[in-house]
C-alpha cells in the first residue's frame, strides 16, 4: 500500500498547472513504515527542460542538487514522479527503463505518473513499486493504489513560492527542433540529431498525433521507426549512472 499526504497531492496539482500542457517531473521523498506501508511525504523538482511530451534533467544540474541537498533529504529519496500533461497515464519504454535502473541502483523504487483532468482541477495517477530481491531479480507491482491521508507531519508550502520555483527551474524546449524523452536518468533523443537538429534516418513523423508527441503510440516522441521496430536511438549513460548512484 502507498500513502501520500494531502498536501503532496496539492503540490503536484500546483506544479502541473503551472506548466499547463507540458510535462514536469522530479523526485519523491518518503519512507517505508514499520507496517510495510510506503509513505510519500513530499515531492521536489530539479532544474529541467520540458516539452509537451518529455522532460530532461541535465547531468550538471543533478550534480548541483546532490552537492547542495542535505544528507537527510538524500537518504529519503524513494523514487521519481512526472506528469503526462493531457495524455493518459501509461508507462512509456523510457519510463519503465528509468524505473528499472533506479531500482537496480537502490534496490527499491516508487514511480508515479499523473495526467490532467479539467486543467488540473483533478488528475489521474498511476503508481508502480519496483524492488530487487536477494537474487537481483526485479519484482514489479503496477497500478498500486495511493491513499491520500491527513497532514499529520506533512509538508507545508506556499503556492506563490512554488510558482516562483517553476519559473526559476523549468525551461521550455522548442517542440519541433529538439525532442527529448527522459525519465530521471535514461536520456534518449528521438527524431532529431542533437548536434545538427536534422531528422534521424529510419524515422518518420507519427501519423496518430501528427508529430506533436501527444500519443502513446510514439511514446511521446512524435516519431516512429520506419521499420516499426520499438528500438530508439540511445546514448551510453555509464557516466551518468555513476552520478546518480550517489543519490539512489
- The predicted-structure confidence for 38-90, as pLDDT tens digits, reads as follows 999 999 999 999 888 888 888 889 889 989 999 999 999 999 999 988 788 89
Q: What whole-number distance in Å separates Cα of residue 31 and Cα of residue 62?
A: 21
189 in a structural domain = no
- pLDDT of residue 141 exceeding 50: yes
How far is it, in rounded angstroms, from Cα 110 to Cα 130? 6
Contact 123, 117 (CB under 8 A): yes
Report the domain count for the chain. Answer: 1
Which one is predicted more confidently, 161 or 136?
161
pLDDT digits over 162-207, tens only? 999 999 999 987 644 334 333 333 333 333 334 433 444 566 667 7
Domain that holds residue 145: 2-174
66, 74 Cβ separation under 8 angstroms? yes
Q: Please give the order of strands across the beta sheet that includes 77-83.
A: 138-141, 122-132, 108-117, 77-83, 25-32, 38-45, 2-5, 146-149
Q: Is residue 33 part of a domain?
A: yes
- Mean pLDDT confidence for 87-101: 88
Decide if 74 is inside a domain. yes
Classify residue 158 by burial, with Cβ atoms within 10 Å: 0-12, 13-18, 19+.
Answer: exposed
Q: Judge whether residue 34 has pLDDT over 80.
A: yes
pTM over 0.75: no
Mean pLDDT of the chain: 77
151 versus 237: the higher-pLDDT residue is 151
Query: Is the separation of the CB atoms in 84 and 114 below 8 Å?
Result: yes
More confident residue, 245 or 201: 201
CA distance 48 to 70: 20
Residue 211 lies in a domain: no
pLDDT at residue 153, as a whole number: 60
Quick check: is 216 in a domain?
A: no
Other C-beta atoms closer than 10 Å to the C-beta of 23 total 26
Query: Do the domain assignments include residue 45?
Result: yes
Strand partners, 147: 3
Position 42 scores a pLDDT of: 93
Cell 535514461 sits on residue: 186
Residue bearing the bigger pLDDT, 158 or 217: 158
What gap in Å lies between CA 107 and CA 139, rounded to an integer? 10
In a domain, 247, yes or no: no
What's the CA gap between 8 and 26, in Å, rounded?
A: 13
CA dihedral (57, 58, 59, 65) in degrees, to 10, reads: -60
DSSP state of 69: S
172 forms bridges with which residues in the sheet? Answer: 50
Mind listing the pLDDT tens digit for each residue in 104-120? 888 999 999 998 766 66
CATH number at residue 17: 3.40.140.10
Q: How many other β-carbons are positioned within 10 Å of the β-carbon of residue 81?
A: 24
Residue 13, burial from CB neighbour count under 10 angstroms (0-12, 13-18, 19+): middle
Kindly state the average pLDDT of the residues 22-47: 93
Amino acid at each position: 500500500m502507498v500513502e501520500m499526504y494531502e498536501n503532496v497531492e496539492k503540490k503536484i496539482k500546483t506544479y502541473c498547472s503551472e506548466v499547463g500542457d507540458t510535462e514536469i517531473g522530479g523526485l519523491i521523498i518518503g519512507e517505508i513504515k514499520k507496517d510495510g506501508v510506503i509513505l510519500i511525504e513530499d515531492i521536489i523538482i530539479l532544474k529541467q527542460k520540458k516539452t509537451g511530451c518529455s522532460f530532461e534533467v541535465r547531468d550538471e544540474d543533478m550534480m548541483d542538487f546532490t552537492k547542495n541537498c542535505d544528507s537527510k533529504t538524500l537518504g529519503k529519496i524513494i523514487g521519481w514522479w512526472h506528469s503526462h500533461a493531457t495524455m493518459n497515464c501509461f508507462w512509456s519504454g523510457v519510463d519503465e527503463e528509468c524505473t528499472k535502473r533506479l531500482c537496480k541502483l537502490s534496490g527499491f523504487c516508487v514511480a508515479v505518473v499523473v495526467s490532467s483532468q479539467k486543467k488540473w482541477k483533478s488528475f489521474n495517477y498511476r503508481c508502480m513499486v519496483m524492488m530487487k530481491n536477494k537474487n537481483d531479480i526485479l519484482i514489479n507491482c503496477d497500478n498500486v493504489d495511493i491513499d491520500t491521508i491527513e497532514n499529520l507531519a506533512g509538508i507545508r508550502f506556499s503556492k506563490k513560492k512554488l510558482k516562483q520555483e517553476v519559473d526559476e527551474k523549468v525551461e521550455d524546449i522548442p517542440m519541433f527542433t529538439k525532442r527529448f524523452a527522459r525519465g530521471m536518468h535514461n536520456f534518449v533523443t528521438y527524431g532529431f540529431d542533437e548536434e545538427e537538429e536534422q531528422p534521424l534516418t529510419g524515422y518518420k513523423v507519427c501519423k496518430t498525433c501528427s508529430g506533436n508527441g501527444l500519443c502513446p503510440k510514439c511514446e511521446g516522441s512524435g516519431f516512429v521507426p520506419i521499420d516499426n521496430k520499438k528500438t530508439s536511438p540511445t546514448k551510453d549513460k555509464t557516466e551518468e549512472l555513476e552520478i546518480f548512484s550517489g543519490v539512489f
